[in-house]
């Protein structure tokens, strides 16, 4: 009765955590396992949604509204110093109902199941959706660890030709979930060139690009601009969930190679969720506003200061360059997660659930998504308990 390929998927990490801990979170638990920002959503969201009330009565076009696409292009040009005209608002941008569905569906767009032995390159550790996307599309996941130590992002240019010749798509996440490392511009450029040489699709997940500590992360579209302005073989994924603390809005976008965008749009017109008009309007307003993003970033920085005070010199603590996770070496991540739950009612995610081989086994991922007071209480308890 079921698609046999489903047997290849492990349970989702949060289900595995629930199984490990013997049940779901309770009202008195401190949930540090999920990367769900709890900062107050910007006030403009409620205002714009109320103004757009009548638009709930319309089916939204799959490619969004011209105003949404224009707001995205303005933001991309500003943030990544792109030449005007490089990203065509009508052909190279699509709204998505959260980047998760887009990261999943892109694999269906580019992999022909059963044709050759297609590979999908994945970072290790990784955001779990990449694995499910690759497997369900009929590609074999090929995991690549950090190029500069276990906590860095991978550099696919180090792979041998017999691997590269089978690659159909590659996922790169920068800033990386879970470990917070960032790809520099040279690495991005090298990998764009590699994707073109071997004709695979480089999918760069930049949904944490606006949450950074000291240095604004580079983006793959800047790499494209510096390589001459073509976006061939490149897709970039951006989300409002983390940037604007609205994970419930389910709003992001994809931009890149116009040939890929056309194929992706065709697939999505059958299986994708179109973003409702009021949400497109709120999203356009959010992409045009940077004040709330700066405030958000400052709050995360204050929490990193707090984490540094509490963990410096322990558990291999380093300040993540981007994102909002701590990636702590606690010796045995599952054991530590159990201990934190049993003794302190704190939920953290074992690194094992976000990795293959033994790359993440020693680690726990701790999401700094709560207010300052809750975060301080949880981090202090983690340090005391472990």
Ligand X SMILES: Cc1ncc(COP(=O)(O)O)c(C=O)c1O
Q: What residue ranges bind ligand X (CB under 6 A)?
A: 35, 98-100, 103, 127, 173, 177, 205, 207, 239, 241, 247, 252
- Nearest distance from C-beta of residue 227 to ligand X, angstroms: 24
Cα–Cα distances in angstroms (integers) from residue 9 to residues 29, 32, 131, 311, 353, in the given order: 28, 24, 8, 35, 12
CB closer to ligand X out of 41 and 98: 98
Nearer to ligand X, 80 or 325 (CB): 325
Tell me how far, at minimum, the Cβ of 122 lies from ligand X, in Å: 12
The nearest distance, CB 238 to ligand X, in angstroms, is 8
User: Whose CA is closest to 366, among 350, 344, 354, 385?
Assistant: 350
Chain position whose Cβ is nearest to ligand X:
98
In the bound state with ligand X, the residue whose beta carbon lies nearer, of 168 and 242, is 242
Closer residue to ligand X (CB): 174 or 375 = 174
Q: In the bound complex, what is the minimum distance in angstroms from residue 6's beta carbon to ligand X?
A: 21
- 120 vs 344, beta carbon nearer ligand X: 120
Kindly state the tokens that stand for 122: 């994945």
CB of 206 to ligand X, least distance (A): 9
Q: Please, what is the minimum distance in Å from the beta carbon of residue 40 to ligand X?
A: 17
What are residue 240's phi and psi, to 5 degrees? -90, -10
Give the C-alpha separation, 43 to 54, whole Å. Answer: 20
Output the furthest CA–CA distance in the chain (Å, rounded): 57
Select 198 or 253, whichever has its Cβ closest to ligand X: 253
Of 160, 174, 167, the residue nearest 142 (C-alpha): 167
Question: Alpha helix (H) ranges present in 227-371?
Answer: 240-243, 258-271, 277-287, 291-311, 333-344
Beta strands 167-173; 201-205: pairing state:
parallel
DSSP label at residue 31: E
Ramachandran angles phi, psi of 299, nearest 5°: -65, -40
Residue 272 contacts residue 61 (beta carbons within 8 Å):
no
Q: How far apart are CA 53 and CA 233, in angstroms?
A: 39
Complex with ligand X: residue 241 or 386, whichever CB lies closer: 241
Task: Tell the smallest beta-carbon distance from residue 254 to ligand X (Å).
Answer: 11
65 upstream amide cis, omega within 30 of 0 = no
Closest to ligand X by CB, 233 or 239: 239
């Amino acid at each position: 009765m079921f698609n046999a390929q489903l047997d290849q998927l492990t349970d989702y990490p949060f289900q595995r955590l629930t199984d490990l801990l013997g049940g779901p979170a309770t009202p008195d638990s401190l949930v540090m396992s999920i990367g769900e920002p709890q900062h107050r959503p910007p006030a403009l969201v409620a205002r714009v949604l109320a103004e757009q009330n009548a638009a709930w009565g319309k089916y939204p076009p799959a490619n969004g509204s011209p105003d949404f696409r224009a707001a995205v292009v303005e933001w991309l040009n500003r943030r990544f110093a792109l030449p005007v005209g490089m990203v065509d608002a009508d052909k190279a941008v699509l709204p998505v109902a959260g980047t998760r569905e887009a990261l999943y569906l892109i694999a269906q767009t580019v992999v022909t199941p059963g044709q050759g032995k297609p590979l999908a390159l994945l970072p290790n550790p990784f955001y779990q959706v990449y694995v499910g996307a690759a497997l369900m599309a009929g590609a074999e996941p090929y995991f690549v660890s950090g190029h500069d130590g276990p906590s860095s992002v991978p550099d696919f240019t180090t792979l041998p030709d017999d691997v590269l010749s089978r690659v159909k798509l590659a996922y790169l996440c920068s800033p990386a979930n879970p470990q917070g490392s960032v790809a520099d511009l040279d690495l991005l450029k090298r990998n764009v060139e590699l994707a073109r040489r071997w004709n695979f699709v480089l999918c760069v997940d930049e949904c944490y690009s606006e949450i950074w500590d000291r240095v604004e992360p580079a983006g793959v579209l800047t790499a494209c601009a510096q390589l001459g302005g073509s976006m061939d073989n490149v897709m970039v994924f951006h989300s409002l969930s983390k940037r604007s603390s609205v994970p419930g809005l389910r709003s992001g976008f994809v931009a890149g190679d116009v040939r890929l965008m056309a194929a992706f749009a065709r697939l999505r017109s059958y299986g994708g969720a179109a973003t409702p008009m009021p949400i497109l309007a709120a999203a356009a307003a959010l992409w045009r506003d940077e004040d709330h993003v700066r405030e958000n970033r400052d709050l995360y920085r204050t929490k990193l200061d707090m984490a540094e005070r509490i963990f410096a010199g322990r558990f291999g603590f380093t300040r993540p360059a981007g994102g909002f996770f701590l990636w702590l070496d606690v010796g045995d991540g599952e054991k530590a997660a159990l201990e934190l739950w049993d003794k302190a009612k704190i939920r953290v995610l074992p690194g094992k659930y976000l990795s293959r081989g033994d790359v993440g086994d020693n680690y726990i991922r701790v999401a700094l998504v709560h207010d300052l007071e809750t975060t301080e209480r949880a981090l202090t308890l983690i340090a005391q308990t472990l």
